[in-house]
Amino acid sequence: MLGSAMPDLPETLAQLGRLLGDPVSDARSLSGGCVADVRMLTLESGRRVVAKIGGPDLDIEGRMLDHLGERSDLPVPRVLHAEADVLVMEHIEHAGGSGWGRHLADLLAALHGITSLDGRFGYASPTLIGPIRLENGWASDWGGFYRDARVLPLIDEASRRGNLAHGLERRLRSYAERVGDDLDHAPPASLVHGDVWSGNVLASGKSVVALIDPSVVYADPEFELAFIALFSTGGREFFERYAEHRPIDDGFFERRVFIYQLFPLLVHVALFGGGYAAQLDSTLRRLE
C-alpha cells in the first residue's frame, strides 16, 4: 500500500481513511514507536484507531495478534488492516493502574493451557521480538528449538551489531551446545505471548484490558514466566496467583529461569548493548 520505508504521512493518512471508509480527522503521536511511527487516529465518525506506519514486517505483527485472537481469550487489539509497512488496530481504552498482577496471571495461565495441535514446539511462520525477525518452524525437541531458533540466532544478531564481546560470545556458544541437557523437565508446547513486560500491558485499575506487541510461539510456558521475572512484570502477586492455576515445577526459580532469561537479555544486548551485556554475563555465570 505504502511502498516506502518512510511514507509521506498526509498521503498515508488519506489512504487509510479511504481504506477504512472513514476519513482521518486527527493523528496524534503515541509512545512506543521504536519500530514504526505509532499514531492515534481519530476518524470523522469519532471512532479512534491505532496505526503503526513505516514498518518493517508489520504484517507479521498483525498475524500474531490475529492468532492470539482466534485461538485464545487473551485480550488483544483487533486488527483492522495489516501490510508490511502499515498496521491498523482498534484502540483499547485504558486508564492505567496498579495491582493488576493477579489478573495478568489469570489471563496467562489460561493462555498457557492452549497447546499446539500436534504437540510440537515453534510456529508456522516468522515472528518478531521488537524489530528483530525470528525464524521458527516446528520441532519435537524443545531444548533443540530453544537453542537453534532463539539463543544461537540472537548471539549472531548481537555479534553482528557489535554489541557482544568476543569472550562472552565464545562462552555463550559453548553453553548453547549443552542447553538442551540443562532443561531437565518435559514441558507442554503452550501458546505464549512472548513479550510480556509492563509496557505491553494495558490496564485500567486492577484489570488488564489488553496485551500488545506479542512475539508468539508454542513453547515451554516457563519461557514466558522467566521473561516476566526478569522485568518484575505484575510483581510478586503474579507468581502467587499463577501457581494457583498452574503449579510451577521444581527447579524453575533455582535454575531454568536463568536459562530462559538468556534470550531476552540477548535481545536487549543486540538492541541496546551497554549494561545489558554485564547482566547477560552475570546470568551466564550462574549456569556455567
Burial string for 204-236 (b: 16+ CB within 10 Å, else e) reads: eeebbbbbbbbbbbbbbbbbbbbbbbbeebbbe
pLDDT of residue 5: 44
For each of the chain's 288 residues, which pLDDT tens digit applies?
A: 544 444 578 899 999 999 999 999 999 998 765 678 999 999 999 999 999 999 899 999 999 999 999 999 999 999 999 999 999 999 999 999 899 999 999 999 999 999 999 999 999 999 999 999 999 999 999 999 999 999 999 999 999 999 999 999 999 999 999 999 999 889 999 999 999 999 999 999 999 999 999 999 999 999 999 999 999 999 999 999 999 999 999 999 999 999 999 999 999 999 999 889 999 999 999 999
Say what the pTM is. Answer: 0.95
CATH of the domain at 268: 3.90.1200.10
37 lies in a domain? yes
206 lies in a domain? yes
Give the single-character DSSP code of 45.
T
Single residue among 50, 68, 90 that ends a domain in this structure: 90
Structural domain tally of the chain?
2
Sequence-distant (≥ 6) Cβ neighbours of residue 250 within 8 angstroms: none
38 lies in a domain? yes
Single residue among 90, 117, 140 that ends a domain in this structure: 90
Q: Are residues 53 and 108 in the same domain?
A: no
pLDDT of residue 36: 84
pLDDT of residue 129: 97
Q: Are residues 185 and 246 in the same domain?
A: yes
Q: Cα(100)–Cα(106) distance, rounded to whole angstroms? A: 10
* Positions marked active-site: 195
183 lies in a domain? yes
Q: Are residues 108 and 55 in the same domain?
A: no
Q: Are residues 73 and 137 in the same domain?
A: no
pLDDT of residue 4: 42
CATH of the domain at 63: 3.30.200.20
Q: Cα(57)–Cα(29) distance, rounded to whole angstroms? A: 20
Q: Are residues 75 and 182 in the same domain?
A: no
Q: Domain span at residue 167?
A: 101-287
Helix (H, G, I), strand (E, B) or coil at 181: helix
182 lies in a domain? yes
Q: Cα(59)–Cα(74) distance, rounded to whole angstroms? A: 20
